[in-house]
DNA sequence: CCATTGTGCAACTAAAAGGTTGCATTAACG
DNA sequence: CGTTAATGCAACCTTTTAGTTGCACAATGG
């Protein structure tokens, strides 16, 4: 009855990481601005540096960003691979839905 | 510094709703099997009916499913509109990333 | 060398999430 | 009309999450 798809288990953590406004903002910043340090990412926000650090860690665990140590700074940059994984997952769902719809339609027609 | 985009605030709850394996499974079931009752969705799972109900409520709050009362049953079905919203959101991010990359590339070339 | 800047680490708190149990309610059915 | 199946509602519990504060530590720049 219940699907135990591996793809679902893989993509759920990615969606969970994306499911926070603050993290989506961080991703948007890193997409536009290239590699940024924690301080830079914190500047202008209304949360503390440590909160930003935690969010970055969540994104890193999901494979959406990666960090490069450079001197005393730690630069973060966007990593598009897992985002593509999420996109494929959504496409698959939409595809199955379309398929179910067309099956239903053809069943109604006969 | 921080983008206060409305699109981000809209799509974050959708991703959050998708960010749970159980809920992704529910969506997969509803995609394939059309409208299903709570009991049907619970059968074969390892959590209680009430837990399933809560997950369905989360999905409904995100606009990913809707319910139809029919007799003593409550049938749930997939609602693809918000999923498309999520897909557009991911596409936008990927697009901004590509754009940033090409800008960087052309800046390096000159 | 000393002040400053950028981070890391740990403890702590408040709230939300995921799940359960128990009981009431509603509708179908012989 | 009584039983049974499908749900709803509410209280409760445990773990996670989002955020904070405080302090230690490393690198940089006069």
Each domain of chain A, given as residue ranges in start order, spans: 8-109
Fold assignment, B6-109? Arc Repressor Mutant, subunit A (1.10.10)
Q: Which residue has the tokens 């709570």?
A: B38
Q: Average pLDDT over chain A, rounded to whole?
A: 93
Pick out the nucleotide with least CA–C1' distance to A40: C6
**A83/B contact by beta carbon, under 8 A:** yes
Q: Does B76 touch chain A (CB under 8 A)?
A: no
pLDDT score at B2: 65
- Asked if strand D contacts A16 at the CB level, meaning under 7 A, the answer is yes
Q: pLDDT means per 10 residues in chain B (110 residues)?
A: 75 98 97 93 96 98 97 96 96 94 81
pLDDT (tens digit, 9 = 90+) per residue, A62-105? 999 999 999 999 999 999 999 999 999 999 999 999 999 888 88
Alpha helix stretches (DSSP H) within B1-110: 6-18, 21-33, 38-42, 49-61, 81-109
Question: What is the structure's pLDDT at B110?
Answer: 61
A8-109: CATH class? mainly alpha
Q: How far is the CA of B2 from the C1' of D7 (A)?
A: 45
Other C-beta atoms closer than 10 Å to the C-beta of A57 total 12
Q: What's the rounded Cα separation, in Å, for the pair B31 and A110?
A: 22
């Amino acid at each position: 009855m219940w699907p135990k798809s591996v793809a679902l288990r893989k993509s759920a953590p990615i969606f969970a990481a994306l499911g926070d406004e603050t993290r989506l903002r961080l991703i948007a910043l890193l997409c536009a601005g290239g590699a940024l340090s924690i301080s830079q990412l914190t500047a202008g926000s209304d949360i503390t540096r440590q909160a930003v650090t935690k969010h970055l860690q969540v994104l890193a665990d999901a494979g959406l960003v990666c960090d490069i140590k450079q001197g005393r700074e730690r630069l973060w940059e966007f990593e598009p691979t897992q985002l593509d994984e999420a996109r494929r997952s959504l496409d698959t769902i939409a595809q199955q839905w379309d398929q179910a719809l067309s099956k239903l339609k053809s069943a109604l027609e006969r």
